[in-house]
Chains A and B, each alone.
Chain A
Amino acid sequence: MSDAVIEIRNLSKIYRDFWGRKKVQAVKSLSLDVMKGEVFGLLGPNGSGKTTTMKMLLGLLFPTSGEMKILGKPASDVSKNEKIGYLPEESYLYRFLNADETLDFYGRLFNMTAAERNRRADELIEMVGLGKARRRQLKEYSKGMTRRIGLAQALINDPDLVLLDEPTSGLDPIGTREMKDLIVQLKAQGKTVVMCSHQLADVQDVCDRIAVLFQGELKVLGRVDELLEMRNEMQIRTSALSDEAVADIRKVLEKHNIKDAEFSRPRADLEQLFLRTVRESGERPGRRFSTEEVAASGRKS
């Protein structure tokens, strides 16, 4: 068998009520493979079945029909969990534990020794930036902090396959950036990452391949760069042009029969703006930025 870490064949899921009546068909004959070492994005609008698919992969839900193999084992086999890290949609953790206890608890579930657990906990808490809050109970945590400790517990066992359900939800842009960096880093370590999201920008930045679900059906599946490449458009980027230069260029284009060229100053996307602001605020505290400054620094970067 090739390097498929996850194989899904004709997977369907129908949610039923107590009496066995059909409520929703959340997933409809889904088939896809996730290869070893890639970052795979599951996309789709709310309610399209992303979380459902992931839960079936983990054995939390039982499929109505279809086959699944995850790390070469059936989804119902608990031993596969040894090498899987899972970050749920919301962090479902024990709120009366503090960060240290949380990581220690999950570490024990992997039968890790005390020394190993401590080492790993220190690393992870450092990584997710909760050093100051590690002794506080999770019920006092903000949403983003909860998300971070959730991520830390998902990585406690140094998994080969990481399943992230909306990893960036609830995170501030720095967190989002860090999360994306982390995903790239995981990929560099040769791990496989599967993430769900409807935040296209995030997906676009990190994913190698994506699948788009809509009402439980697979609509698009392919490599991100291929999917996003637009063959009938061309973009030119220069430093700022004078109006005469623009007029000249238009003439040249008209000569080539291109009449619908668009000229405008590019905008930084908000994410970049936010990131920059926060970064520079850290360097020069107590200062407010004017629009010009922001634009100028945007050009600089």
Chain B
Amino acid sequence: MDFDIRPYDFALATRSWLMLAGALTVICLALALVLSVARNGARGIGIFTSGLKSYLDDLVSISPRRILALTNLTLKEAIRRKALLVFVAFAVLLMFAGWFLTDANERPELQVSVHVTFLLTAISWLILPAVIFLSVWALPEDIRIRSLHTVVTKPARRLEIVLGRMTGLGIVAITMLVVMGVVGLGWLYRAIPSTSRSALECRVPLFGELFFITADGQPADKGLNVGDVWAYRSHIAGNTRARAVWVFPGFNESALTTNEQGEKDLLLECRFEAFRTIKGSEASIKKGIEAQYTISHNPREEAFGSLSQSESLRPLADALRDGQFRNAADRMKELAQRMRTAPDELRPQDYAGLQFGLTIAGALLKEMKNDSFGDVPDAFIAASTAGQDLIIQLRRKAETQSREAVSHEEFAATLDRVAAGLAENADGLLEGMPRTEVPLPHFHVSEYHDGEESINVTAVPQTLRFVADYETLARFLARIVDEWNAQGKLLDGSSLKPGLAETLASEAKISQLNAERFVEVLQEQLTAGTVQVADNQLKVANGKTWFIFLDELIRGEKLVSQDPQGWMIEKDLMKDMAPNGYLRVEVACVNDQMYLGMARPDLFIRKANQSFAVGYSKALINISLMLLLIIVLGVTVSCIVKGPVALFFTLTFFLVGQFFHEFMLRKLSGVEQGMGTFESAVLLAQHRNPQVGMDVSETAQAVVKGADKGLEGVLWAFSNIVPDFTIFNRASAYVENRFDVPLMECVIPAIVVFFGFLLPCILISGALLKFRELESK
């Protein structure tokens, strides 16, 4: 399994629960009515209503004291029947486990995993049989030796008997679990060699969303497939523009950890797959393939990236993404023109892609709430609406095959409006949508052999120092000039302050050489008159902003770094790179002809570790919920059938819920390939393959397929009635792999599932016990 945390859809769960519970109620009532009438004839209806009334009466007259008495009874029974002997088995297991588990040569993480897995498995598989047997045997045995007769002839409601049994067995199970859990924790600390004990931790991951950028720079859902049958991971090619991009929503201060020096770090943990097309040098084989993280903040990519979906819009999208808004305006105008003159040159998917891109761009631009964008956001939204109308008209035309021409004029006009807006507000847009990319040092991903995956943990300091690209540098310097202007720190009269380079170097944290170069360039521009002094401030002569001015200078290679390290600047990870609460991390493969494979859970942010005991307790909570659910099911089933049969049913429920639940869902949702049961049987008998199909008459085919449909219905019902037991073990798997157990995604859903089953089970078992004759054998 992977440790990908997927949110649990509570609303959906509640909705399907209500639907199923409603259906179940109706079915049960109808069934009861039919049975009653079948048994008693016309009197049956009266018997049914009075039975229902007395059942409802029972519900309201439940007495805690009586339930407690029955709970007590169950506890005494369990103790006097020596159920607690499981503790002996547990103790023996732990005593001798050491012989098989310790191997001081293993990696610490593996040692910890082995021990924790052993412990959690031992606990659940020791209590499980005890609990199944107790729950399945208690009531039938009570009925068989008729001790229940004496109880039900007291005012004890049968519902209370069921409740008392369930509670009592639940307490037994939880007691066993708590005792074993505490003893087990102590054992863990003793049994794991001291050298490995530090790996006894619960990592807290923050997972992101993954998408790819192809080698030609376009966004895509998937990367390359290097020929794996199980295409779990997608690959990116080395030394191209291909990237894997993770976006971590919900990124904030809490995602950082404090390192030994007391500074805040961002920890990135990854386990990628290395795939080579050539062996490479021996050194490279030993070190692995080189990879590189880039932390980027890129609103332009987000706003305009989706426009590049269709080929013919690429130039437009690229211009927008590069911040060349005037160029983009021209291309937009061209597009509008083409739409007027040769509308059929653009294919339907181009229109759809364009409309989609416009929608995204409009929404995101609007969200940025930047006044210097003018009416561009609204223009995009208007264009998206017009595009929508046009698409609807085109579709209608295609459906009715009418020859009437559809006017593209309206859409084209809105595009013109966008173009005009882009041209007019080009500088404002560029200024308002900064792209910052912080490349991090390379790291190595080695190929993994046999279970040993190469895990890399990279610590990224909160204050990033990196070589700025042109755009970032221009923004950085422009901000300094603006701020210092305002504080009057730049000028001394009508000339630059003496010693400006030194203060710049120390306060803006840039190198002395670069600071001197910058001051030098400012002086040159002042002399040349492109920069002037007005109102005691340094101003750009043609009225442009400092960013635009400096950007042009830098692009003109007028501000080349004198420092061999380049233009090193500082940025804050939180403030500068994730101002909107999400972090974007790009991964590139550096080596030519090598590939890196990755899937969504392969990279995550590691938050501060949770203490092991907490994660372990959460796993125990989930195990206890599983045990409780089994008790509830066992008791429910045992209300109507005898011990062995109840055992069979409960085990079936458990095994199916544990091992086949996912399969059932996959089968139902059509992910799992294959024919229906009956069709397969016919094919098998006829020695034919699925492509050829059955060699039978059409009616016979219909019958076989109908039967398969019916079976599918049964499977559907089954998949909804059998609880998904994997939800309970998932918590253990997290802890075994040294992860913390996510509360909302793993513990709470388990609780919800448990209660979802508890309520109907109590009601059903109460009814089953009430309306059966205790005598019949």
Binding site for B on A (CB under 8 A): 15, 55, 58-62, 74, 76-79, 81-82, 84, 86, 88, 90-94, 96-97, 101, 105-106, 108-111, 137, 153, 157
Q: Are B147 and A82 in contact (CB under 8 A)?
A: no
Closest to A156 in B: B154
8 nearest A-B pairs in the assembled complex, by CB-CB distance: A108-B69, A92-B146, A109-B154, A96-B80, A86-B153, A81-B155, A109-B156, A92-B147
- Number of chain B residues close to chain A: CB under 8 A: 33
Interface-located stretch among B58-66, B257-265, B437-445, B717-725: B58-66
Q: Are A94 and B773 in contact (CB under 8 A)?
A: no
Partner of A101 from B76, B148, B153 at Cβ < 8 Å:
B76
Closest to B79 in A: A96
Q: Are A55 and B155 in contact (CB under 8 A)?
A: no
Closest to B149 in A: A92
Q: Are A110 and B155 in contact (CB under 8 A)?
A: yes
Residues on B with beta carbons closer than 8 Å to the beta carbon of A153: 150
Interface of chain B residues 155 through 169 with chain A (CB within 8 A): 155-157
29 A-B pairs with C-beta separation under 8 A: A55-B149, A55-B775, A59-B152, A59-B153, A60-B774, A61-B773, A76-B51, A78-B152, A78-B156, A79-B61, A81-B155, A86-B150, A88-B150, A91-B150, A92-B147, A92-B150, A93-B147, A94-B77, A94-B147, A101-B76, A105-B73, A108-B65, A108-B66, A109-B154, A110-B154, A111-B63, A111-B65, A137-B80, A153-B150
Partner of A109 from B148, B151, B774 at Cβ < 8 Å:
B151
Residues on A with beta carbons closer than 8 Å to the beta carbon of B146: 88, 90, 92
User: What is the CA–CA distance of A65 and B77 in the complex, to the nearest angstrom?
Assistant: 38
Q: Are A108 and B775 in contact (CB under 8 A)?
A: no
User: What is the CA–CA distance of A93 and B146 in the complex, to the nearest angstrom?
Assistant: 8
User: What is the CA–CA distance of A88 and B774 in the complex, to the nearest angstrom?
Assistant: 14
Q: Are B76 and A97 in contact (CB under 8 A)?
A: yes
Residues on B with beta carbons closer than 8 Å to the beta carbon of A74: 50
Residues on B with beta carbons closer than 8 Å to the beta carbon of A59: 152-153
B369 interface contact, C-beta 8 A: no
- A109-B66, A109-B156, A111-B66 known; A93-B773 Cβ under 8 A: no
User: What is the CA–CA distance of A106 and B155 in the complex, to the nearest angstrom?
Assistant: 10
In the assembled complex, how far is the CB of residue B372 from the closest CB belonging to chain A, in whole angstroms?
77
User: What is the CA–CA distance of A105 and B776 in the complex, to the nearest angstrom?
Assistant: 26
Closest to B157 in A: A78
B591 interface contact, C-beta 8 A: no
User: What is the CA–CA distance of A77 and B148 in the complex, to the nearest angstrom?
Assistant: 17
In the assembled complex, how far is the CB of residue A30 from the closest CB belonging to chain B, in whole angstroms?
17
User: What is the CA–CA distance of A230 and B599 in the complex, to the nearest angstrom?
Assistant: 101
Closest to A51 in B: B775
B198 interface contact, C-beta 8 A: no
User: What is the CA–CA distance of A15 and B773 in the complex, to the nearest angstrom?
Assistant: 11
User: What is the CA–CA distance of A206 and B583 in the complex, to the nearest angstrom?
Assistant: 92
Chain B interface SS verdict (over half):
helix
Closest to A109 in B: B154
Interface of chain B residues 127 through 162 with chain A (CB within 8 A): 145-157
User: What is the CA–CA distance of A32 and B480 in the complex, to the nearest angstrom?
Assistant: 107
In the assembled complex, how far is the CB of residue B729 from the closest CB belonging to chain A, in whole angstroms?
34
In the assembled complex, how far is the CB of residue B69 from the closest CB belonging to chain A, in whole angstroms?
3
Interface of chain B residues 45 through 94 with chain A (CB within 8 A): 50-51, 54, 58, 61, 63, 65-66, 68-69, 72-73, 76-77, 80-81
Q: Are A92 and B145 in contact (CB under 8 A)?
A: yes
User: What is the CA–CA distance of A59 and B153 in the complex, to the nearest angstrom?
Assistant: 8
Closest to A20 in B: B39
User: What is the CA–CA distance of A180 and B73 in the complex, to the nearest angstrom?
Assistant: 32
Closest to B80 in A: A96
User: What is the CA–CA distance of A91 and B65 in the complex, to the nearest angstrom?
Assistant: 24
Q: Are B153 and A60 in contact (CB under 8 A)?
A: yes
User: What is the CA–CA distance of A91 and B69 in the complex, to the nearest angstrom?
Assistant: 20
Partner of A105 from B69, B145, B149 at Cβ < 8 Å:
B69
Interface centre among B68, B150, B775, by most chain A C-beta atoms within 10 angstroms, is B150
In the assembled complex, how far is the CB of residue A84 from the closest CB belonging to chain B, in whole angstroms?
7
Interface centre among B58, B72, B80, B149, by most chain A C-beta atoms within 10 angstroms, is B149
Q: Are B150 and A106 in contact (CB under 8 A)?
A: yes
- A77-B54, A78-B58, A94-B147 known; A58-B77 Cβ under 8 A: no
User: What is the CA–CA distance of A79 and B57 in the complex, to the nearest angstrom?
Assistant: 10
Residues on B with beta carbons closer than 8 Å to the beta carbon of A81: 153-155
User: What is the CA–CA distance of A111 and B69 in the complex, to the nearest angstrom?
Assistant: 9
Closest to B775 in A: A61
Residues on A with beta carbons closer than 8 Å to the beta carbon of B73: 94, 97, 105
User: What is the CA–CA distance of A106 and B151 in the complex, to the nearest angstrom?
Assistant: 7
User: What is the CA–CA distance of A78 and B775 in the complex, to the nearest angstrom?
Assistant: 17
Residues on A with beta carbons closer than 8 Å to the beta carbon of B76: 96-97, 101
User: What is the CA–CA distance of A126 and B359 in the complex, to the nearest angstrom?
Assistant: 89
User: What is the CA–CA distance of A78 and B81 in the complex, to the nearest angstrom?
Assistant: 30
Contact with A along B678-689 (1 / 0, CB 8 A): 000000000000
Closest to B150 in A: A92
Q: Are B153 and A58 in contact (CB under 8 A)?
A: yes
- A77-B54, A96-B81, A111-B63 known; A60-B775 Cβ under 8 A: yes
Closest to A84 in B: B153
Closest to A58 in B: B153
Residues on A with beta carbons closer than 8 Å to the beta carbon of B54: 76-78
Q: Are B155 and A60 in contact (CB under 8 A)?
A: no
User: What is the CA–CA distance of A101 and B68 in the complex, to the nearest angstrom?
Assistant: 14
Residues on A with beta carbons closer than 8 Å to the beta carbon of B68: 108
Residues on B with beta carbons closer than 8 Å to the beta carbon of A90: 146
Closest to B154 in A: A109
Residues on A with beta carbons closer than 8 Å to the beta carbon of B66: 108-109, 111
Closest to A150 in B: B150
Residues on A with beta carbons closer than 8 Å to the beta carbon of B157: 78
User: What is the CA–CA distance of A94 and B141 in the complex, to the nearest angstrom?
Assistant: 11
In the assembled complex, how far is the CB of residue A214 from the closest CB belonging to chain B, in whole angstroms?
22
Residues on B with beta carbons closer than 8 Å to the beta carbon of A79: 61, 155
In the assembled complex, how far is the CB of residue A299 from the closest CB belonging to chain B, in whole angstroms?
45
In the assembled complex, how far is the CB of residue B62 from the closest CB belonging to chain A, in whole angstroms?
11
- A76-B54, A109-B155 known; A60-B773 Cβ under 8 A: yes
Residues on B with beta carbons closer than 8 Å to the beta carbon of A15: 776
Q: Are A62 and B773 in contact (CB under 8 A)?
A: yes
Q: Are B154 and A88 in contact (CB under 8 A)?
A: no
- A92-B145, A93-B147 known; A60-B152 Cβ under 8 A: yes
Interface of chain B residues 17 through 67 with chain A (CB within 8 A): 50-51, 54, 58, 61, 63, 65-66
User: What is the CA–CA distance of A74 and B46 in the complex, to the nearest angstrom?
Assistant: 13
User: What is the CA–CA distance of A55 and B156 in the complex, to the nearest angstrom?
Assistant: 16
Q: Are A96 and B77 in contact (CB under 8 A)?
A: yes
Contact with A along B657-677 (1 / 0, CB 8 A): 000000000000000000000
User: What is the CA–CA distance of A55 and B151 in the complex, to the nearest angstrom?
Assistant: 13
Interface centre among B61, B77, B81, B154, by most chain A C-beta atoms within 10 angstroms, is B154
Residues on A with beta carbons closer than 8 Å to the beta carbon of B153: 58-60, 81, 84, 86
Residues on A with beta carbons closer than 8 Å to the beta carbon of B51: 76
Interface of chain B residues 352 through 374 with chain A (CB within 8 A): none
User: What is the CA–CA distance of A93 and B66 in the complex, to the nearest angstrom?
Assistant: 17
- A76-B51, A81-B155, A105-B73 known; A93-B150 Cβ under 8 A: yes
User: What is the CA–CA distance of A137 and B148 in the complex, to the nearest angstrom?
Assistant: 18
User: What is the CA–CA distance of A1 and B149 in the complex, to the nearest angstrom?
Assistant: 30
Q: Are B155 and A82 in contact (CB under 8 A)?
A: yes
User: What is the CA–CA distance of A135 and B81 in the complex, to the nearest angstrom?
Assistant: 18
Closest to B160 in A: A109
In the assembled complex, how far is the CB of residue B63 from the closest CB belonging to chain A, in whole angstroms?
6
Residues on A with beta carbons closer than 8 Å to the beta carbon of B773: 60-62
User: What is the CA–CA distance of A101 and B81 in the complex, to the nearest angstrom?
Assistant: 16
User: What is the CA–CA distance of A77 and B158 in the complex, to the nearest angstrom?
Assistant: 12
User: What is the CA–CA distance of A86 and B153 in the complex, to the nearest angstrom?
Assistant: 7
In the assembled complex, how far is the CB of residue B645 from the closest CB belonging to chain A, in whole angstroms?
12
Residues on A with beta carbons closer than 8 Å to the beta carbon of B776: 15
Residues on A with beta carbons closer than 8 Å to the beta carbon of B69: 105, 108-109
Closest to A112 in B: B65
In the assembled complex, how far is the CB of residue B168 from the closest CB belonging to chain A, in whole angstroms?
12
Contact with A along B747-777 (1 / 0, CB 8 A): 0000000000000000000000000011110
